Amino acid sequence: MKKTALYVLSCLIATNSYGQGRFSGDFQSNLNFFMKDSLIGASDNPLYDNALSGSDAWLSLRYASNSGYTFFLRADGFANSNLKNPVSTNSDFGIGAWNVTKTIDNKMTLSVGSIYDQIGTGILFRAYEDRGLLIDNAMVGFQMKYKLAKNVRAKGFVGQIKNNNTENNIINNVRYAPIVKGANIEGDFSKGKVRFSPGIGIFNRTLDAASMQAIVSAINAQDISTRFNPKYNMYAFTAYNNLLYKNLSWYAEAAYKTNEAIALTNTSNSAYADRDGSVLYTSLNYGKKGYAISLTGKRTENFVMRTSPSETLLKGMMNWQPIVAVLRPMRLMSRYTPASQDISELAGTANALLSPNENMDITLTYTHINTLNNEKLYREAYLEAIHHSDEKWILGGGVQYLEYNILLYQTRSSSIDVPVLYALTPFVEGTYRINDTKSIRFEGQYMHAEHDYGSWAFALIEYNIAPRWSIAVSDMYNAVPNKGGDNLRYTEPGNHYYNIFAAHNVGSNRFTLAYVKQVDGINCTGGVCRYEPAFSGIKATITSTF
């Protein structure tokens, strides 16, 4: 791996020295300083007791030559990092990703190394990176893309999925042993005012001997009535199409996977069952002047796509399932974001944007998610109105009603008094434009909830000097704590979680510094979630492109 990376780097330098292409890159670094606060639970682990600080960093280098070669190299560094495991330190440094690509006659593209790609929306296969959750499931191997006709493209790949989940060995040449293979054909056609983009895909995963032996041992330990003969190979198929007609767009995808051993719950000691799986997903959007409507639906049954059935949580992921619910960025609402379910889910969302005049926008949303056995998972009713009163003011407000299955989404113990959390959250927001470069923005939210931590209040004020500076101060306050429940920490009347934030932009560089107190909870990105404990301390980031 190191020899390969050095070869890629030497090619980068050599080709750039002749001035025959374009060189670019980017850099990102996160720094954390841990300040103990036992009142909110930010204590009693190696971060606060010993390390006291930690960092993560990524440096990417790209070179595109005029002869059709593209070289990519990314160095990853983790020093007492809590990104992989939020309650302990992990350290590693090395080549996180590399790739060499050659385009031939504008028809064929050959790639070797770390490949990030997907089939369709990613339901069948998606290799991607999400640094906030430390997801990096690159497919390490070979890929070929070929232009069959003017509007028809094909691709195929073979390799292994990167494994960055081992302790203190996050980077260097660690891959899951099973082999993955896939192929995909897509088209893009127009006839009159109709445009449609169909596609089909096939995917195969072959288990290695060690993974199979572990599965066999687990099955043999089950009750004899539930035992079965597991298979080495799993095959999956998808067909999809995106249709555009005037103001209407409609996407539909259907995926199926052959039967294999799957764990029926998301824990390492689950019983295995021999099941096939399927996903149906669709999204319909229509808009005209004054209004826009979108409808989204998904049905998922036993569609578990892992390198091995023994992998759980964020380990061994080979795909990504679209989330149907609308992701809310507001601080209180984001605490209860529903993760996509791959065993059993029936989900639908209706969203409408109304603009009765040039100064008013109204958003209405309803989301309904159950299991296939009709167990309640998630409900949301949402209303927001934004009014542009004049050139100086933008004012908004609304309310969210939420029902959230906290036992399932946050894998809580059944000792909590209710499985479903009910919450009502009114909010207001506004921006005052002082002049062309300066503005003040404020937010206010109150979440009424009787379970989990209880009720919350949140307030933020932000001052912006475009394009250079942004300064914000906020407080998240446990206004009415829940004194029963799941061993929760609280004081009378409740804890404050302060945040003081500053950002500075210089050209393509951005620097941020924040003093943070953060309550424990679920952090979600695109329907993929993980639990993070409470945090107390200072966070700094640096991002740069060149």
Question: Closest Cα to residue 80, out of 537, 544, 500, 545?
Answer: 537
Q: What is the pLDDT along the chain (546 residues), one digit of tens a residue?
A: 555 555 555 655 555 555 578 999 999 999 999 999 988 888 888 899 899 999 999 999 999 998 889 999 999 999 999 888 888 888 888 899 999 999 999 899 999 999 999 999 999 999 999 888 888 999 999 999 999 999 999 999 999 999 877 655 555 568 999 999 999 999 999 999 999 999 999 999 999 999 999 999 999 999 898 999 999 999 999 999 999 999 999 999 999 999 999 987 655 556 899 999 999 999 999 999 999 999 999 999 999 999 998 888 888 999 999 999 998 989 999 999 999 999 999 999 999 999 999 899 999 999 999 999 999 999 999 999 999 887 889 999 999 999 999 888 887 665 455 689 999 999 999 999 999 999 999 999 999 998 888 999 999 999 999 999 999 999 999 998 887 655 455 556 678 999 999 999 999 999 999 999 999 888 777 778 878 888 999 999 999 999
Alpha carbon distances (Å) from 268 to 98, 282, 315, 318, 341: 32, 32, 11, 18, 17
Interior angle at CA 532, CA 428 and CA 301, nearest 5: 90
Cis omega (within 30 of 0) on the bond before 467?
Answer: yes
Q: Which two tokens stand for residue 175?
A: 């891959």
> What is the rounded distance in angstroms from the CA atom of residue 160 to the CA atom of residue 138?
8
> What is the rounded distance in angstroms from the CA atom of residue 92 to the CA atom of residue 85?
13
The DSSP result for 479-511, as a single string, is EEE-SSSSS----SS--EEEEEEEEEEETTEEE
> What is the rounded distance in angstroms from the CA atom of residue 416 to the CA atom of residue 527?
24
Residues 6 or more apart from 544 whose CB is under 8 A from it? 26, 27, 28, 508, 509, 510
Residues 6 or more apart from 219 whose CB is under 8 A from it? 227, 228, 230, 261, 272
pLDDT for the residue 487: 47
pLDDT for the residue 229: 93
156 and 148 in contact (C-beta within 8 Å)?
no
Residue 214: what are its φ and ψ, rounded to 5°?
Answer: -65, -40
Q: Which two tokens stand for residue 141?
A: 């191997």
pLDDT for the residue 164: 79
302 and 308 in contact (C-beta within 8 Å)?
no
> What is the rounded distance in angstroms from the CA atom of residue 477 to the CA atom of residue 489?
13
78 and 93 in contact (C-beta within 8 Å)?
yes
Assign residue 173 a region: left if phi > 0, alpha if psi is -120 to 50, beta otherwise? left
